[in-house]
Amino acid sequence: MGHVLDICTPRILSLELQPEDECLHPRIYFEAMSKATNSPQKSPARREPAVVRADKLQAGYGTTAVCGVVSFSLHGGQAMALVGPNGAGKSTVVKTVVGQLEAVSGTTLINGAEVDDRTLDFRREVAVVFDDDAFFPALTVEEHLAIVSAGHGVEDVEETISAELEFFGLAALAKSRPYNLSSGQRRRMLLASAFVRPRSLLVLDEPEQRLDTAMRHRLATRLRAEVDAGLALLVVTHDPDFLSTVATKALFIADTIHTMTPTQAAVAIASENPHAD
């Protein structure tokens, strides 16, 4: 049994392959995936009124909640930042929102449907990048992006990959394998994998981590442009400048949840970490 890693939503997809086939060219993988997922991207006008709606959601493990009760709605053209101290439960909340963790209580709908990250509809619409390095050791940076883009029905795969390699400063490393990259370069590869595919909802967990100041600014500016064009963005961040550029609203995650403006959230972050750049 061979395994295919969905880089944008860290799960393992299985394909029936013989052991000697495991290192076949990625085209074999993404041709199989594209048959299942190739469909036009929905225009913003066709989306449900709320891309994400969380109702009295308690995130945690088993029956133990890690933070207060979370309720919010997120529409296309909005970016919600989750802020708070380390260990407050921000990552647990976003993983629960996208179905990677089971909720202690409460519900979440994405595009009007109950969350099930195994469905094709979910995988067509939702791109996720968490703070973990998930990659195939045998595949190059370029091949990773090819699997994701072609697997999600992108027609101009080579052009799309080339543009993202250039944006993330990875063009010279396209033929490199991830284990030969620095931590920051691997982070950029994983972020690039979210941009080479269609999406109506993008979920990022501390995307600024391991990026230099210039790349943080470029990424923040681009994300805000995509939000203004109709993307729904849910992001965990500790960077006040990044948040101020990207977010249209914010939640402070703690034992009690507080709704904040981006300006208030940026101040809260700076107070928590006065050395944040």
Q: What is the mean pLDDT of residues 142-148?
A: 94
The reported pLDDT for the residue numbered 166 is 98
Q: At what angle do helices 183-195 and 157-167 cross, to 10 degrees?
A: 140
**Average pLDDT, whole number, for the chain?**
84
The reported pLDDT for the residue numbered 35 is 44
206 pLDDT higher than 70:
yes
**Do 1-37+136-197 and 46-111+200-277 have matching folds?**
yes
Residue 87: how many other CB atoms lie within 10 Å:
10
Residues 164-189: tens digit of each pLDDT: 999 999 999 999 999 899 999 999 99
Residues 9-20: tens digit of each pLDDT: 444 333 333 333
232 pLDDT higher than 80:
yes
Q: What is the mean pLDDT of residues 96-119?
A: 93
Q: How many Å apart are CA 79 and CA 254, to the nearest integer? A: 20
* The two structure tokens encoding residue 204: 């990022």
Confidence of residue 105 (pLDDT cuts 50, 70, 90): very high
Say whether 152 sits in a helix, a strand or coil: coil
Q: What is the mean pLDDT of residues 58-81?
A: 96
Q: Which fold does the domain 1-37+136-197 belong to in CATH?
A: Rossmann fold (3.40.50)
Looking at domain 46-111+200-277, which of 3.40.50.300, 3.40.50.80, 3.40.960.10, 3.40.718.10 is its CATH number? 3.40.50.300
Residue with tokens 């543009």: 163
31 pLDDT higher than 80:
no
Residues 35-58: tens digit of each pLDDT: 444 444 544 444 457 999 999 999
The reported pLDDT for the residue numbered 133 is 65
Confidence of residue 273 (pLDDT cuts 50, 70, 90): low
Q: At what angle do helices 141-151 and 183-195 cross, to 10 degrees?
A: 20
Listed by start position, the domains of the chain span 1-37+136-197, 46-111+200-277
DSSP for 221-270 reads HHHHHHHHTT-EEEEE---HHHHHHH-SEEEE-SSS-EEE-HHHHHHHHH
Q: What is the mean pLDDT of residues 150-164?
A: 94
